[in-house]
A and B are shown apart, each in its own frame.
Chain A
Amino acid sequence: MIAIVDYHAGNLTSVKYAFDALGVDTVVSSDPAVISAAEKVVFPGVGAAGSAMASLGELGLVDVVREAAARKPFLGICLGMQILFSRTEEDGGVDCLGVLPARVRRFPAVPGFKVPQIGWNDVETPECRRFYYFVHSYYVEMNDFAVGTTEYAGVKFASMVRCGKLLACQFHPEKSGRAGLELLKGWVEEC
């Protein structure tokens, strides 16, 4: 069973619908027991890092999510990718889950580049270049786990990372058309 973690960080409807479209059953849950028992875990998130971390704490999900990210097939999306890292500049600086070692920074103010980045940008992987849909003001710095990179506002950042059974992406595969569905399908099938 695949659990989609609901920690009150954004709307999970489209994540659930994307898996429905693949014919894959998912359960949306805030319950630590359900997430512990799940075979695979999807960790989405939209919003601010500070309130997301606070909410994980209140729901008793911090250790459960860390554990799942370290051992299980795990998919982090957008803010759910960012807070897997050690620390973000957002909200005056917030310590995150620290599953992976890199920092999350805000895009610099560069003329001609609006922040947040909203829209379709390309992700370059060793195999190919494909477009996915992004909505974000903060990015994960380049690191050893980056398997996909994207450029915006003069910055090249880690738009997709992989570490063991963990995959995480800054973009929204659930809103990225065929490319996004193929990524989700690949993740479901490989693990």
Chain B
Amino acid sequence: MIILDQTTKRYQGGHEALRSVSLQVEKGEMVFLTGHSGAGKSTLLKLITRIEVPTSGQIRVNGHLLNRMPKRQVPFYRRDIGMVFQNHQLLMDRTVFDNVALPLRVSGAHPDDMQRRVRAALDKVGLLKREKYYPQMLSGGEQQRVGIARAVVNRPTILLADEPTGNLDPLLSREVMNLFAEFNRVGTTVMIASHDLGLIARMPYRVLTLREGSLVRSSAIEGLRNG
């Protein structure tokens, strides 16, 4: 569950990236976050992952008040959040398996457990046979799916994605979005920042629109898919 209460983020130099944003994402919900570049999508995701701290207002995730979280607790907090990036942030000198295993290694998982869970995650994104490959040997869509496998391998309660379809063609984009929907069906809270409105409009989830740092619309567009 993600709650922002009049959250403002002002960067050094005075730029106000978020202006008194209040929103609530329920546990198990899936939402899209849209807006032009510079509207504050990235800042919002940075606040939720505790890369940035709000200038004023509160932000609460899974019951943790992030404003006051001590620095040494941040790593443990992040283990419960999966992140997918536009440029997927894979380590090019590690195999697909090692990339996906990274969050488990960080939290000290048992090797047997690690194997089982990495294989399960790769299976879900359809890349089980690629575990020994290096990222360069994969297509853009496949690399993105490796990034998704890494994000979910820890079975996080929250899955965040920043423009996950930014570099993909429409067909692959659709596949990737469906993947997120699947994780949401098994109970994961999902928040996806995207400006691919055509794709978003086809999916039955709430859309949060940011404009110049303010939340302008929070609407459910259910039914559009059939209409």
A-B complex is real? no
What is B's interface to A at a CB cutoff of 8 Å?
A: none
